[in-house]
Structure 1
Amino acid sequence: MPSSPAPVLHYIFDPLCGWCYAAAPLLAAARALPGLAVQWHAGGMLSGAARRTITREWRAHVIPHDERIAALTGQPFGDAYYNGLLNQVGATLDSTPPIAAMLAAEAMDGRGLDLLARAQTAHYVEGQQISTLGVLQSLAGELGLDIRTFTAHCQEVLADTVQSHIQESREWLQASGGQGFPTFVLEFTDRSSGQRVAQRVDIGPWLGNPAGWAEHLQQGLERAAGALPRD
């Protein structure tokens, strides 16, 4: 009898979403679980017509959210972000370039989520403008990716596939019943029915507790496989 497809954790997010940065330790814990694949879907929160520039009003809007994230999860926010980047009035906030960079890194070496993690630190701790190609090239180089190849991939993705990826990600969000970014959906084969099912997973109780989240995910996988009784 052929084996069932491996369980997949779908991650629907945006690289410029503060609450996705809050969930970054949960994503890292999920990626470390044996036998669980992670598939990402970047939804373009600040893409296209939603792209914006930093203003004093934007700074006043996001800082209370960032402070709440820091208190809840322990995620670091640097002075270079609070008093550097957020004071750069007129700087562009555009989700499309970092999404394209992730797609390029994924195509080159399966490193899309590694680039996301590095870009989030660059933005929220180091105050770098991750919507600019030069910054993204530098981050890719830090990951050991060939910058010329990476740049060519980025340009190709920006011209061809990034918009379809964003649209498909938004369709994933709608189909999952998620209310926004981030949303996690666990897809697995139900042993009792043999059917492939997808269930949205609430991360609210686990923000700031990646070890508990990993245990919760593991128990869910074991229940799906029939190794544990259902609640």
Structure 2
Amino acid sequence: MEEKRTLYYVHDPMCSWCWAFVPTWEKIQSDLPNDIEVVYLLGGLAPDSDVPMPEQMKLTIAGYWKTIQERVPGTQFNYDFWTQCQPRRSTYPSCRAVIAAKAQAKDSGEAKILEKAMIKAIQEGYYLNARNPSDFDTLIAFAEEIGLDVERFRLALNSASTVEKLNEEMHMARSIGAQGFPSLILKSNKLFETEETESQELKNVQWENVPYDYNDASVTLRHL
């Protein structure tokens, strides 16, 4: 009998707490036990919207950034975003951009590379360089910068299949118990060998919310 474990990372590319978690999350991934596979799931913070963000909401979110910098030392934000861009409460476009990037991969290994490349482009563009990932033109520029087929990306960004895939990921994130972003959810299931088949999977799959600390990767690693 052997145990198979999958660690689901539930996130949104425009979630400021996910941005603050990046250094610790990278450390966690680099030191994970070999038997754990990592899978990213898009949670989706805010649907598409062309409505400018109200002034009070802008002040509130900028205040969150300050709170994050106090609680997670070293996290950087470019506050020029609030004066140089037209903020909108709309993160689904950036979520779809991650899916559209993965769609250009030739295999699962490349899909993970493109997924992370697009997430990094969105986060650094947004938080360090005051670029607005709610704008399609900005997302297309990111696609070009990470070496994607831009026309293919443009067509995929708002396609029915991409929208469907995002809905599937958001539904799964909720169904496995994600509570905010980021969330770490561990799936464990046991495999056993029989004479009839090489391996079978037991039906009693277990899901568990995994604890984490924004400043200390060892909290998660010890638990795992």
TM-score of the pair, normalised by structure 2: 0.77
Tell me the CA shift for residue 185 of structure 1: 0.4
> Helix, strand or coil: the match of 2:144?
helix
Whether the 8 Å contact between 2:177 and 2:185 is mirrored in structure 1 is: no
State the aligned residue count: 206
Which stretches in structure 2 are left out of the alignment for 5+ residues?
106-110, 193-200
Structure 1 match to 2:205 = 196
The CA distance in 2 between the partners of 1:215 and 1:13, in whole Å, is 19
Whether the 8 Å contact between 1:22 and 1:207 is mirrored in structure 2 is: yes
Alignment of 1:1-231 (within 5 A): 6-32=4-30, 33=32, 34-48=34-48, 53-78=52-77, 81-82=78-79, 84-88=80-84, 90-109=86-105, 110=111, 111-154=114-157, 158-190=158-190, 195-203=204-212, 206-210=213-217, 212-213=218-219, 215-216=221-222, 220=224
RMSD: 2.9
TM-score of the pair, normalised by structure 1: 0.75
Letter in structure 1 aligned against 2:132: Q
Which stretches in structure 1 are left out of the alignment for 5+ residues?
221-231
Tell me the CA shift for residue 163 of structure 1: 3.4
Name the structure with the higher helix share.
1
Percent of aligned pairs sharing the same letter:
19
> Helix, strand or coil: the match of 1:7?
strand
> Helix, strand or coil: the match of 1:161?
helix
Tell me the CA shift for residue 65 of structure 1: 1.5
> Helix, strand or coil: the match of 2:104?
helix
Tell me the CA shift for residue 90 of structure 1: 4.1
Q: 1:75 to 1:151 in 2, by over 3 A?
A: farther
The CA distance in 2 between the partners of 1:89 and 1:114, in whole Å, is 23
